[in-house]
């Protein structure tokens, strides 16, 4: 268990920015009372993440202070993960530690802002680590706006030292949120398919890792081919497709995997192949495709009652369904117009309309957690694209183009996407597939390094 | 129609009886003219030629030799191509001849598409074969269908030729 409290700023969980504005006068008074010596006004420092970042914001991230070696190591490790997270976001540039003038110990009495302005740091992160008699670790951190000389954030966590990485991600999220006004995405995991071997004997295993690639572990053995894992937005569960071996045959079916217990169970007994599963927004049902007698339709199963319902009724292929965040609508993939295109319908299957209008074929639509956009895979003129469009089909924008890119997934803040890229196979069937992340702006593409090849990434919700 | 189908099939069987099954050769189904090559090459060698073993009736080996074990599809299509119909008709005749055989029809897609859509496409392809067989009088209870999407390519590589051979339905004797 981790306990956390706000330092000085006595507000409970941070509220979305639009709600905060109404509280500002009261909050400002509170902040002024508590931080009177230094706080002149509200901070001006803000990173606009809605447009490509030309010049990342310079942030000085100091090693968290510790009295003893063990604390110092934890403090340096935490600062290292925070710096790596912020750097990878593309929005921030950690200032070289060698340039720091003020040391960690004296920072405990507050920053000498001039020292940080001198090295062009716009924001400053510092804190300390203290191991307690009971073996637990207390971590404090603060974020300052160097130019307006204001503390922007301050938090204290108490947890076991083994949780240091988790604390580092939470600190990163607080910093990101305060500087961008958007919810963070660092304390998250990615489930994906780890792959190895040639095209025709590719071993595929379910695997999970932190969003920075750390804490990697395999969830399945590789005996069965697995595909398309997706996180529950509310529980520690994954839904995915596995080719279950039974009496010499392989049967593709939708499964559920509980991350805490390791338990796997089949979604249900159905007369045909089930595939393309996703959880509903509240995690109470799974929407998926079932193919029976050559016709693929979209169904939902209520996870409590296991009651099922068919939502489409058309002789064409209907697959890859994804709910809008308010669960009122579903976007899916259908070839009912001749080629695979994207369609939106109400969650009862009514009010169907086509939203993709560009050239080529469209696949794997995924509704953003913010609701404002739908990401998709597009295939046109021998190439693949990852793109986004508004739910009405307007504002289409391509983010990535390559020989083969596929299967976008959204970070929980709807600002970053992950997907995978596959190379052409050679005559021996050797291929590589790698997972990448990219900003919604189409900039800052980064490989997410995995121990083996990777595909089908799916981002977890933010772990609070 | 059934009568003529069976006679042409019988002719094809005679032709095909001495050909060797091979992954590549099977692209031109069982009625092909490649039958003679094996016997001519062995005739010149010193030891007396031994007859190649004939595959047992109703086995995968016999099916592969005599009918072919797959048909091919056009890009993003699941209708049975005109040039593939003979193979499915030969398959129906073979199933008629081997009434005890139950079969799995696999559907496959090339790698150019998404995994999910290709699962649906593979299922469509396998069902196209199933539907044609049922129309030709085969009891649907003998046929099961599975889609592997793009997961099990038969031919390696990322080029038009490989993709054309990977868009297929394969016939597997249970």
Neighbours of B62 (CB within 10 A): 22
CATH number at residue B93: 3.30.1330.60
Q: Are A227 and A218 in contact (CB under 8 A)?
A: no
Binding-face residues of B in 116-145 toward A, CB within 8 A = 116-117, 119-121, 123-124, 126-128, 130-131, 144-145
Helices B85-97 and B115-135, axial angle in degrees (round to 10): 60
Please list the helix, strand and coil fractions of chain B in percent, rounded to the nearest 5, in that order: 50, 15, 40
Domain range for residue B158? 2-173
Secondary structure letter of residue A414 according to DSSP:
S
pLDDT at A247: 81
The pLDDT value recorded for residue A3 is 64
Closest chain B residue to A250 measured between Cα atoms?
Answer: B146
Instruction: Please name the member of B116, B144, B152 whose beta carbon is closest to the beta carbon of A228.
Output: B116
Q: Where are the alpha helices (DSSP H) in B105-151?
A: 115-135
Task: Report the mean per-residue pLDDT for chain B.
Answer: 81
Closest to A300 measured CA to CA, from A291, A312, A309, A289: A309
Output the pLDDT for position B47.
67
Is residue A389 within 8 A of residue A356, CB to CB? The reply is: yes
Q: How far apart are alpha carbons B137 and A292 in whole angstroms?
A: 21
Give this complex's ipTM. Answer: 0.88
Q: How many CA atoms lie within 13 A of A411 on its CB side?
A: 23
- 3-class state of residue B149 by DSSP: strand
Beta-carbon separation of B116 and A252 below 8 A: no
Q: Which residue has the higher pLDDT, B19 or A372?
A: A372
Give the 3-state secondary structure of residue B92.
helix
Say yes or no for a CB contact (<8 Å) between B123 and A227.
Answer: no
Buried/exposed code over B126-148 (b: 16+ C-beta within 10 A; e: otherwise): bbbbbbbbeebebeeebbbbbbb
Nearest to B158 among A333, A361, A424 (CB): A424
Nearest to A425 among B123, B149, B158 (CB): B158
- CB-nearest to B120 from A250, A291, A425 is A291
Assess whether pLDDT exceeds 60 at residue B4.
Answer: no
Determine whether the interchain pair A275/B119 forms a contact, defined as Cβ–Cβ distance below 8 Å: yes
**Candidate from B120, B148, B151 with C-beta closest to A296:** B120
Nearest residue in chain B measured CA to CA from A295 = B124
Nearest to B134 by CA among B168, B173, B95: B95
1.10.3720.10, 3.40.50.720, 3.30.300.30, 2.120.10.30: which CATH number matches A189-459? 2.120.10.30
Q: Domain tally for chain B?
A: 1
CA distance A321 to chain B (A): 10
Predicted pLDDT of residue A241: 98
Integer CA distances (angstroms), A359 to A396, B76, B110, in order: 12, 16, 21
Please answer yes or no on whether B146 and A273 come within 8 Å at the CB atom.
Answer: yes
- DSSP string over A435-463: EEEEETTS---EEE--SSEEEEEEEPPP-
Question: For position A19, what pLDDT does the model report?
Answer: 30
Tell me what pLDDT residue A5 has: 59
What is the SS3 assignment for A421?
strand
Contact criterion met (CB < 8 Å) for B151 and A431: no
Integer Cα distance of A414 and A411 in angstroms: 5
In this complex, do A252 and B157 lie within 8 Å of one another by their Cβ atoms?
no
- CATH architecture of the domain A3-180 equals 3-Layer(aba) Sandwich (3.40)
Q: Could you say which residues of chain A have pLDDT below 70?
A: 1-44, 53
Beta carbons within 8 Å of A317's beta carbon, 6+ residues apart: A296, A333, A334, A335, A336, A340, B117, B120, B121, B124
Check residue A137 and give its pLDDT.
Answer: 97
Report strand pairing: A217-218 vs A203-210.
Answer: antiparallel
Dihedral sign for Cα B43, B49, B55, B60, please. negative
Domain residue limits, chain A: 3-180, 189-459
Res A6: pLDDT: 54
CB proximity B18 to A under 8 Å: no
Residue A27 pLDDT: 31
Q: Do B117 and A320 touch (CB under 8 A)?
A: yes
With beta carbons less than 8 A apart as the criterion, state whether A137 and A160 touch.
yes
Identify the H or E element spanning A113: helix A113-118
Split at pLDDT 50, 70, 90, the class of B53 is confident
Whether chain A has a CB inside 8 Å of the CB on B169: the answer is: no
Residue of B nearest to A408 (CA): B114
B103 touches chain A (CB under 8 A): no
pLDDT at B46: 64
- List the single residue in B116, B127, B156 with the smallest CB-CB distance to A293: B127
Per-residue pLDDT band for B38 (boundaries 50, 70, 90) equals very low
Chain A residue numbers touching B154 (CB-CB < 8 A): 200
Indicate whether B27 pLDDT > 70: no
């Amino acid at each position: 268990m981790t306990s956390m409290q706000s330092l000085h700023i006595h507000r409970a969980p941070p509220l979305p920015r639009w709600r905060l504005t109404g509280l500002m006068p009261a909050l400002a008074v509170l902040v002024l009372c508590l931080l009177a010596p230094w706080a002149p006004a509200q901070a001006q420092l803000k990173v606009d993440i809605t447009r490509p970042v030309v010049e990342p914001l310079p942030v000085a991230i100091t090693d968290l202070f510790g009295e003893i070696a063990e604390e110092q190591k934890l403090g340096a490790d935490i600062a290292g993960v925070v710096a790596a997270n912020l750097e990878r976001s593309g929005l921030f540039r950690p200032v070289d530690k060698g340039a720091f003038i003020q040391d960690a110990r004296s920072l405990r009495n507050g920053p000498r802002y001039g020292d940080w302005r001198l090295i062009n740091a716009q924001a400053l992160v510092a804190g300390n680590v203290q191991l307690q008699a009971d073996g637990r670790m207390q971590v404090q951190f603060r974020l300052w706006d160097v130019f307006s000389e204001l503390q922007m954030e301050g938090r204290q966590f108490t947890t076991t030292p083994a949780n240091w990485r988790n604390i580092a991600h939470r600190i990163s999220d607080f910093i990101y949120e305060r500087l961008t006004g958007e919810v963070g995405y660092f304390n998250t995991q990615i489930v994906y398919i780890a792959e190895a071997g040639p095209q025709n004997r590719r071993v595929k295993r379910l695997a999970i890792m932190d969003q920075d690639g750390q804490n990697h572990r395999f969830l399945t053995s590789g005996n069965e081919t697995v595909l398309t894992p997706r996180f529950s937005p509310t529980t520690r569960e994954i839904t995915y497709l596995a080719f279950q071996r039974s009496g010499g045959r392989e049967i593709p079916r939708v499964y559920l995997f509980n991350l805490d217990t390791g338990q796997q169970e089949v979604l249900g007994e159905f007369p045909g192949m089930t595939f393309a599963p996703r959880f509903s927004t509240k995690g109470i049902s799974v929407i998926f495709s079932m193919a029976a007698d050559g016709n693929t339709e979209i169904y939902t199963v209520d996870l409590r009652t296991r009651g099922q319902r068919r939502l489409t009724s058309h002789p064409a292929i209907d697959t890859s369904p994804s709910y809008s965040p308010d669960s009122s609508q579903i976007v899916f993939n259908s070839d009912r117009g001749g080629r695979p295109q994207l369609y939106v319908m109400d969650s009862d299957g009514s009010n169907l309309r086509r939203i993709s209008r560009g050239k080529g074929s469209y696949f794997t639509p995924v509704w953003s957690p913010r609701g404002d956009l739908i990401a998709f895979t597009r295939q046109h003129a021998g190439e693949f694209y990852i793109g986004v469009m508004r739910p009405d089909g307007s504002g289409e924008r391509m983010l990535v183009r390559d020989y083969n890119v596929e299967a976008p997934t959204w970070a929980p803040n709807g600002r970053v996407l992950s997907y995978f890229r596959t190379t052409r196979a050679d005559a021996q069937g050797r291929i590589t597939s790698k997972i990448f992340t990219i900003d919604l702006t189409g900039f800052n593409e980064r490989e997410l390094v995995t121990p083996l090849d990777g595909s089908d990434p799916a981002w977890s919700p933010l772990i609070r | 129609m059934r009568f003529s189908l069976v006679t042409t099939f019988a002719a094809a069987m005679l032709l095909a009886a001495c050909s060797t099954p091979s992954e590549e050769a099977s692209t031109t189904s069982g009625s092909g003219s490649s039958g003679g090559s094996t016997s001519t090459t062995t005739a010149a060698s010193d030891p007396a030629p031994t007859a190649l073993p004939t595959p047992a009736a109703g086995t995968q080996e016999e099916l592969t030799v005599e009918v072919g074990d797959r048909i091919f599809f056009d890009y993003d299509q699941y209708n049975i191509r005109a040039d593939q119909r003979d193979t499915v008709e030969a398959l129906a005749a073979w199933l008629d001849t081997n009434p005890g055989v139950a079969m799995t029809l696999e559907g496959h897609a090339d790698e150019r598409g998404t995994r999910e859509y290709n699962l649906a496409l593979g299922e469509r392809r396998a069902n196209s074969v199933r539907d044609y067989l049922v129309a030709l009088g085969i009891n649907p209870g003998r046929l099961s269908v599975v889609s592997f999407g793009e997961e099990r390519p038969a031919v390696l590589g990322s080029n038009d030729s490989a993709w054309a051979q990977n868009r297929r339905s394969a016939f597997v004797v249970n």
